[in-house]
Structure 1
Amino acid sequence: MMMETLEGAGLCFPHLNSSCKKPTHPHTEAMLIYVLLSSISLVTVALNLLVIFSISHFRQLHTPTNLLLLSLAVSDLLVGLLLMPVEIIYIEACWFLGDIVCTLYYVVDYIITSTSVANMVLLSLDRYIAICDPLHYPTKVTKRRAEICVCLCWICSVFYRILLLNDHLEQPGRSNSCLGECVVVINYIAGVVDLVFTFIIPITVIIILYTRVFVVAVSQARAIRSHIAAVSAQCSGAVTVKKTEMKAARTLGIVVVVFLICFCPYYYPALAGEDTTVNASYAAFDIWLAHFNSCLNPVIYTFFYPWFRKSIKLIFTLQILKTGSRDAKIL
């Protein structure tokens, strides 16, 4: 009788034979995991809130490019605010929210991921037009078009993920092996489709666009240097513009490289011809590495965007509380 009680104490649902065992970690290891992951979650939320508030508050930052960055920051904020806390809670706990909530959790997770990728594609396209066709940039890339593209990103991501996870939505919990578990298994075919449309095609497009951007930027820089003596004033302004555009392009390029590093481990099973298993009941390295990208994006903005550093300074010095702060010169 005592043995049965001890065995039941280690189960999510002690009175059910189909119950999962409670996830367990050594006390010290569990505390370190909690502290580390909680810190990442808090930093992710704080930094992305700063990006969102900066772009929303200062009128000078209401540009088409920053609208795309705002959309990316929103998706990153949702990762830190919704996805990371759930994974932290269930490091040492069973899943008691039911199969429907479990499935919805993964749908939201995948929607955010797809939207982030789509935003990066749009950002690379924005830089491509800005550098390769600067004269027509103001007419081709407008706030209205940027808003439409952002809305389409989110809407298409929702429909795409619902279609991809349709089997799990029709039969929640189909991948769970026992009660108290929250697992979604993406079969090989669906995994390959996801790999192609959410990873390979977008990243290929981004790399091609950035390659074209750098080739054009280098040729323009050489042309400017060769004529700088004849038209020094005009060319000086042009060099300033091109340096600004190149800096933005390099920054977004770094964002893409970081994205590749963070998401490659997650897509490895599909590349290896295996099913992709995602489990919310333990802190899987590939899942957290993918989510860690949402913490790195605003860090990159902090180091490489002068307007972001200036806006943070105004926020922390409470200058934003002054009348007319929305019209402050940030750029």
Structure 2
Amino acid sequence: MEIQDGAELCFPQLLNTSCRKKTPHQFEDVLLNIVMSSISVLIVVLNLLIIISVSHFRQLHTPTNILLLSLAVSDFLVGIVLLLGETYRQTQCWFAGDLLCSLYFFVVYFVFSTSVGDMVLISIDRYVAICHPLHYPTRVTVTKARLCVCMCWFCSVLYSSVVFKDALNQPGINNSCDGECIVVISYIADVVDLAINFIVPVTAIILLYMRVFVVAVSQAHAMRSHTAAVTHQHSVTLSTRKSELKAARTLGVLVLVFLICFCPFYCVSIAGISPYTANLVFLMFYLNSCLNPLIYALFYPWFRKAVKHIVTLQILQPGSCNVSMLK
């Protein structure tokens, strides 16, 4: 009988402290693991295409694309670290040690925070471009965009370090048995996180895009009424404004999809809801990292053109970084 019980333990030699092995043989568990693994592959491949496209082609080095690049990097980490790590944690005993368990949750948290920060920066970028178009070229530059992205990642790491200070200093403090990987943050940290990672950024995003939507609609009406009577110089300006409005609509879709996937995830994480429902909502949030590149492919011709150059290996040719992607 002891041998049978020992065979079900993560660490058979630790009869008193070892967790029991997980047996995810139910149809729902197996199906969830297959779906998560498939989404993980799509996330990695699609976001890698974004990273290569924006990094390689010089014409794509614009402030807005720098922000999209940062979002793609965080989504890429979602595919590699979050989905694969979470699949392993949910279906297997944790043999990687308590410190790696704490580091895993730390990475999950700071990548999550960075994605939220990227969405706020994208909303600010569109707000300045649409509501203050004359000041946009001087207020929003590639250098400033890179600086904002670096600050976003740095602040996310710093904030996550504070939240997970106890877990990193005392790894495994929340585990009830050997082979388990659980990190629990304090109630105060939960309340602060609710404000910093949910209420404040979501409110800012909604308010900024409400303003962008109102201004964009008024500008669209104005352009339609003056299209027939413009000079060539004004035509160039008109074309630029149309491009900005199109970018606002595209990024508006991006932000809307993010909010749809993000809000249920956060609501479930702070409420007592059944594990099955929680898994579906978490999967919905992970799916957002896969949908972002598909939105680019649907609305951005430059992304489709860049992917064609990447898939056909034309980027390996000398001078390929100077190829025009915006024509």
Global fold match (TM > 0.5): yes
1:14-93 matched pairs, under 5 angstroms:
14-15=12-13, 16-26=15-25, 31-93=30-92
1:277 to partner: Cα distance: 12
Q: Which range moved further: 298-307 or 57-66?
A: 298-307
Tell me the CA shift for residue 162 of structure 1.
0.8
**2: distance between equivalents of 1:143 and 1:203?**
25
Question: For residue 289 of structure 2, what is the amino acid of its counterpart?
Answer: S
**More deviation in 220-229 or 168-177?**
220-229
Q: Where in structure 2 are the equivalents of 1:248-259 lying within 5 Å? A: 248-259=247-258
- Counterpart contact for 1:95–1:180, Cα < 8 Å: yes
Which secondary structure does the structure 2 equivalent of 1:184 belong to?
A: coil
**Identity percentage of aligned residues:** 58
Match in the other structure for 1:220: 219
Paired position in structure 2 for 1:155: 154
Q: 1:138-287 residue pairs with structure 2 within 5 A?
A: 138-231=137-230, 233-234=232-233, 236-269=235-268, 272=271, 284-287=279-282
Report how many aligned residue pairs link the two structures: 323
Return the alpha-carbon distance in structure 2 between the equivalents of residues 286 and 99 of structure 1. 27
Alignment-derived partner of residue 302 in structure 1: 297
- Aligned-pair Cα RMSD in Å: 2.3
Question: In the alignment, residue 298 of structure 1 is paired with which amino acid?
Answer: P
Deviation, structure 1 residue 115: 0.7
* Equivalent residues of 1:191, 1:270 under 8 A apart: no
Q: Quick one: distance in 2 between partners of 1:69 and 1:60? A: 14
Give 1:66 shift: 0.8
Equivalence for 1:10: 8
User: Which consecutive segments of 4 or more residues in structure 1 shift more than 6 A?
Assistant: none
2:135 corresponds to: 136
Shift of 1:89: 2.7
1:304 deviation in Å? 1.4
Shift, 1:99, TM fit? 1.1
Per-residue deviation, residues 297-323 of structure 1 (Å, max 9, x unmatched):
112111111110111112222322333
Query: Given the alignment, which residue of 283, 290, 296 partners 1:288?
Result: 283
Distance 1:153 1:238, change over 3 A: same
- Please name the residue that 1:317 is paired with: 312
Q: What is the match of residue 328 of structure 1? A: 323
Structure 1: gaps spanning 5 or more residues:
none
2-side partners of 1:221 and 1:266: how far apart? 35
Inter-partner Cα distance in structure 2 for 1:228 and 1:302 = 29
Structure 2, unpaired ranges of 5+: none
Equivalent residues of 2:120, 2:204 under 8 A apart: yes
Distance 2:102 2:140 in 1: 38
CA distance in 2, matches of 1:233, 1:185: 62
